[in-house]
Amino acid sequence: MRIKMMLRLIVFFALLSCQKDDDAPNEVSPVLIQKIEIQGTDITSGVTGQMTAKVTPDNATDKSVIWKVSDATIADISATGLITAKKNGTITVTATANDKSAVVVTKVINVKSFSTTPIADYEVSTVAELNTALGKVKAGETIVLNGGTYAMTSKITITTSGTSDKMITLKAKDGAARPKLDFSAMSEGSANQGIVLTASYWHIKGIDIYKAGDNGMQVKGSNNVIEFMTFSECSDSGLQLDNGAANNTILNCDSYFNADSSLENADGFACKLNAGTGNKFIGCRAWQNLDDGWDGYLRGTDNISTTYQNCWAVKNGYLKDGSKGAGDGNGFKTGGSDDKLLKHNAKYTNCIAAGNVADGFDHNSNRGEVTIYNCSAYDNGRSYSFSSSNPLAKLIIKNSNVLGAYGTTLADVVDSSNNSWQNGITVTADDFTSIDYTQLLGARKADGSLPDVTFFHLKSDSDMINKGVDVGLPFNGTLPDLGAFEF
């Protein structure tokens, strides 16, 4: 009897336990993330950018994500998705769901907020700092000059060379006033140049060289670029290439008011004496230099070639005060030599000689080959002067014009055609929008390029439009026009 009672109690409590389990509420399962969208944009200003994660579904139990970036050298990211940039570059941002869904999404972010202007290896403000930097600089490095006047007491000699892929740069600081190297404390003398560049692979830009006792700059090295410089009131040629200097480019430079006490040597630019070959002048101007705008006189070398593109020679032979000096006064003197035998081959394209005391284009006993394409001359003593005395080996002159007498175009071999004094063309001032060559001395553009002018631009009814021959230079219309400017 007692056993039966115990069995009944066991069954009762078992049934009671089952009833309680059936009545207990069910456990709720978590809602997992199915999709993540990273919201945020490229960093183009400042150094921070906020990333947010939009998750689907909206009722996900845990909406948090883990942030990561692909390159910590470019930027870091915080636990809340805030990117802090360190430098320009591209990173991949990853957001990983923090729940058990293992959803992962990525987004590419570009950082473009940092200045791309190269940081100078040396930034100088004094003569002492400049000399120190020049003594330390290595291939591929940059020296930046702050604006202002540097009172120089001795010349600068540069001997350390760069390489073809790692040039050394010496330049004015971007956005600052132009630096001026003032050598007026130096006396006139053949050893008192402003800068002597014996090194190669330099890029020197945006500096004014004033009143050196000899050349403003003497280039003896090769493969250099001299850009947007001025050379003024020096006691010899503003810039001179010699001593084997080869393959240098002189770009958008001005040389003016240079005069020496000997009344003979101060040119604007000179590629002369024992210079090497392959030098180029592009977009340069020379005006009111005592002797010539450009001088190519040779001594100690032979059969070199120099090119001139879009260069202007104006009023050479006149001094700073406007009076006529005692120098030769040519615009472009192609060559010449002591024995009258040396050859300086020269090519001029789109060049202008205006208002020079003597010849606009002159050979001065040069025995080489001179090519003149699409050049202009006006108001010179003689505009084109290539005589039979010690003549050129060859003169090629095409598509060029002149207002007034053209001069003499003789050589051992002459290839002259399609010029304004040929084919029955008559040239008057009415052919041109302007004949005021003072325009040529206007301020350069901010990038150093030549000013826009109307001087010697042809009017629409000029007989010189489409009267040239194709010489490989760009032109409008059916054929090239005559002169330095296309209509």
List active site positions. Answer: 333
The helix/strand/coil state of 3 is helix
Give residues with Cβ within 8 angstroms of 436, minimum separation 6. 455
Number of H helices, E strands in the chain: 2, 40
Dihedral angle, C-alpha 176, 173, 220, 271, nearest 10 °: -40
What is the CA angle 433-437-443, rounded to 5?
105
Q: How far apart are CA 82 and CA 192, in angstroms?
A: 60
Q: Find, among 79, 86, 150, 145, the residue nearest to 113 by Cα.
A: 86
DSSP track, 429-458? GGGBSB--GGGGGSPPPTTSPPPP--BTPB
Residue 420 main-chain phi, psi, to 5 deg: -70, -20
In this structure, the strands spanning 65-69 and 89-97 are antiparallel
Q: What is the DSSP letter of 86?
A: -
Give residues with Cβ within 8 angstroms of 382, minimum separation 6. 358, 359, 360, 362, 405, 407, 408
Give residues with Cβ within 8 angstroms of 317, minimum separation 6. 289, 290, 291, 292, 324, 325, 327, 328, 329, 330, 356, 357, 358
Partners of 403 in the β-ladder: 378
State the alpha helices, DSSP H only, in 66-126: none
* CA 78 to each of CA 14, 36, 110, 317: distance values in angstroms, whole numbers, following the listed order: 56, 18, 17, 71
Region at 245 (left for phi over 0; alpha for psi -120 to 50; beta for the rest): beta
Query: Furthest-apart CA pair in the chain: how many Å?
Result: 155
Let me know: does 341 contact 314? Beta carbons within 8 Å: no
